[in-house]
Amino acid sequence: MSECSCGQATYEVSAGNHARQATVVSVPCECQGQAECECGCCDPEVCECGHQSDCPCDGQHAVWELDHRGRRVRQVPSQCVCGPDGCRLLWLVTHLPAGATRRYGVTQAEESAQIPSISGGVQVHLEDGKQADFFLGPAPFTSYVFRHGIARPYCYPVYGPGTLQVTNFAPHDHPHHKSMYVAHGEVNGHDNWSELEGHASTVNTRVEVIAQGPITGVIRSVSDWVSARGDKLLREITTIAAYDLGPEVRVMDWRIVWYAAYGGVYLGDTKEAGTISIRVAESMEENRGGRIVNAYGAVTEAECWGRRAPWVDYYGPVGKEILGIAVFDHPSNFRHPTWWHVRSYGLFTANQWGIHEFTGDWSQRGDHTLRPGEKLVFNFRVYIHRGDTQAGDVAGHYLDYAFPPKVERVED
């Protein structure tokens, strides 16, 4: 095990204007490690090769909540994770009121010490060429399926609190709606949305586990979008991070990169697209007693379809419970706040593309072109919760994601 250089440090976390119930904060690891490409290219985020992503600090630190005198109160869940932008030390902040601050101390971990977690941490089991299974402690969360012969990778099943399934897979009315996935119906004239004859496909070339531990498990997936003739259209790099924030919620972050690796890419104006797409469980559909709510308080398909909003929540009955799935559009995303292609029959997508169809005005266009070598980066959070939108504090969790607490190092 290599030496960790993070050493002793004290940080102050400021809640800012919003109460924080359970959120992850981070600081750069002083080890200065990063996820590097095997080929050493200048942009590791879009490289198709494998990554050397082990953080030299992981498992060698402990993060402690401190009292007002700087004494240790308790050790909190923490983990080092490396990405293209470097390695970061993550830890969990809970129950921090609006306007409040709290200090945390980072120390070297004892050799035999075990870092705590809320529900057992996140583990990822990779079955080469087939799927990556995420677990929160012993409980399954989801499987990212990428095996040969499917139209495009997807997450299924997806379990919410209570290990209840919250998505629908390939329903008879729309068999291409496979639980949770990435798709677009107009890419250089090719359809990578449906599974009709002649459709394009997303062909996976590599999946690797980037991290797993007390706070998060992360995979990186590299795929090519390929026409029915076999022409490569673009490269997709999707990173999925699942978090252990406790038994009442399920959280995963999607970072989706579309990279013009094979020439220019034309992304057409169409509602038949979902930069992130979900088909909610049949029992949750608005037609069957579910509810669609957006960040502005609009409800139902009639008020939310084709409208812009930072987030949308879709909740409804699952077994004897009410569960919801919210999708958060990060403020840094292209065309934020996104438009939503969300339907009473259960389709739920963030769609930055079908603007003329959403507005009914052909002069307003959602087309976009990537020049060779350009990329688009999208960040979304999927937040699965108990209860309705208010009970699940969807608005509060969006603020944790979009406007996280501030972290500053305190000099002794």
Query: Cα(238)–Cα(209) distance, rounded to whole angstroms?
Result: 12
Amino acid residing at 403: F
Helix residue ranges per DSSP H, 236-304: 300-304
Same fold, 9-116 and 122-402: no
Contact 324, 314 (CB under 8 A): yes
Task: Please count the other Cβ atoms lying within 10 Å of the Cβ belonging to residue 64.
Answer: 18
The C-alpha R_g of the chain, in whole angstroms, comes to 21
- Give pTM, 2 decimals: 0.95
Domain boundaries, the chain: 9-116, 122-402
Strand 291-294 versus strand 311-318 pairing type: antiparallel
> CA-to-CA distance for 299 and 196, rounded, in angstroms?
32
Say what the pLDDT of residue 185 is: 99
Choosing among 3.30.960, 1.10.490, 2.60.40, 3.30.70, the CATH entry for 9-116 is 2.60.40
Query: Residue 229 has what DSSP assignment?
Result: T
Nearest of 178, 18, 31 to residue 106 by alpha carbon: 31
- 386, two tokens: 């108990």
Q: pLDDT tens string for the chain (412 positions)?
A: 344 545 689 999 999 999 999 999 999 986 655 555 655 566 778 877 765 555 666 667 899 999 999 999 999 999 999 987 789 999 999 999 999 999 999 998 876 578 999 999 999 999 999 999 999 999 999 999 999 999 999 999 999 999 999 999 999 999 999 999 999 999 999 999 999 999 999 999 999 999 999 999 999 999 999 999 999 999 999 999 999 999 999 999 999 999 999 999 999 999 999 999 999 999 999 999 999 999 999 999 999 999 999 999 999 999 999 999 999 999 999 999 999 999 999 999 999 999 999 999 999 999 999 999 999 999 999 999 999 999 999 999 999 999 999 999 998 6
Give me the pLDDT at residue 1, please: 37
**Contact at 8 Å (CB) between 206 and 129?**
no
Question: What is the H or E stretch that residue 76 is in?
Answer: strand 72-76
Tell the CATH topology of 122-402. Beta-galactosidase; Chain A, domain 5 (2.70.98)
Q: What is residue 3's predicted lDDT score, i.e. its pLDDT?
A: 46
Residue 21: C-alpha distances to residues 101, 394, 399 (Å): 13, 12, 11
